[in-house]
Amino acid sequence: MAPAQYILVSLPLRVFDDDPLKSLAVTVGRDNGEVLPYPVPSFKIGTLDALVQHADDLAKLNGACEAAVAKVADSLRGILDGDEDLVAQQKIVNDKPTDQYLRSFQWNKLRYRADRPLAELIESLQRDLQNSDNDVKAKFNQYNTVKTNLAALERKQTGNLVTKSLTPIVDPKLLVQDSEYMETHLIVVPTNARKDFIRSYETLAPMVVPRSCVQVAQDDEFTLFAVTTFKKTSAEFLQKCREHKWTPRQYKYVEGGKEEEQRELQRVEKEARKVRAEALLLGRTGWGESVMIWAHVMTLRVFVETVLRYGLPLEFASALIRTTPKQAKKVKTALDSAYSYLGGNAFGRDKHGRVTKDDASLTSEMAAAGLSVGEGNEYTAYVYYEFDLP
């Protein structure tokens, strides 16, 4: 199934002879997209200067919404190992699948009262987005930290002799302990260098105890040896081992250490399961919150630009067009052909009647005035916003 692409449009009622949605559906074409009602409340308008500022603030907030939604989607994919079917199940907004929420969008009048000034609404949306983004980020950071800790503990249990814990492997009877003059070292040697180590360990440094080498353990890649030296030459012995690419392992026997490591592993496994469940729940909530906020920001953008473009009295029709990335260009071409005249001199037609693009200077002027420009920074003769969801 092709991913959905959404287009929000607003047009003055005067351009329609019939029902606006039916007329738009005919213009767009049934094969190119589905035209759905998208109700935009009547907000407090304020001054022209304030509207231009709101348009700029909303454009920035729209970018922040897009980034937040993408971040939540990435987090969900990470925690669900990239399983898109499972990820899709988490993408719920107001107890509805995301597409259904957008199709049936209604402004949340209880949370964002339409009779409040636009500046207050924008500030509330910005604050709510930041709070949601912070909550999701904090929980997923916690999850990633616990996951890293668990992976490190598991490596200690299942890794090779270079990385795994020596607590369940080393018999304390093999170690010289509590001696004033001597100590035992544990050296990991690649199995293919085993004979070389046995032949040469006594001469690596002075005062290595002859015939003290004991094989402790072996895996597919390495062999672990215990060797006893006098403490005064220990540093030299260990350095010579490193020069031969033989790995000294730090180890100190602790009574009950094996059981303690197992308890720690079980504790972190339990914590990881708990934090994963919390992160998944917060990811689901964060998706719903950020998409809901984005839809409200888009609604405000449509309203502000509608006022800036078409003036007062406010008589306009707004709609959501659900299409695909492939068909979106056809939708835009059809809309341009039908409504480009709203741009006055912004659009012309060639001798074949095709719409010609605006010039760069006009685009700059319109953008500076707070009016939207389309994909590729092209001026659009009517209110037009494209967006898609990751």
Closest among 15, 5, 59 to 372, alpha carbons compared = 59
pLDDT band at 364 (very low <50, low <70, confident <90, very high): low
Q: Please tell me which of 96-110, 149-163, 335-349 the model is most confident about, judged by mean pLDDT.
A: 96-110
What is the total residue count of the chain? 390
pLDDT of 244-292, one tens digit each?
A: 999 999 988 777 767 788 898 899 999 999 999 999 999 999 999 999 9
For residues 184-203, give the mean pLDDT. 96
For residues 88-100, give the mean pLDDT. 96
112 or 360, higher pLDDT: 112
**For residue 190, cis peptide bond before it (omega within 30 degrees of 0):** no
For residues 152-169, give the mean pLDDT. 87
Decide if pLDDT at 241 tops 50: yes
pLDDT band at 126 (very low <50, low <70, confident <90, very high): very high
**Alpha-carbon distance 175 to 76, whole Å?**
49
Question: Percent of the chain beyond pLDDT 70?
Answer: 90
At 288 the three-state DSSP class reads: helix
For residues 197-214, give the mean pLDDT. 96
pTM: 0.78
377-386 as b/e: b if 16+ CB within 10 A:
eebbbbbbbb
Decide if pLDDT at 164 tops 50: yes
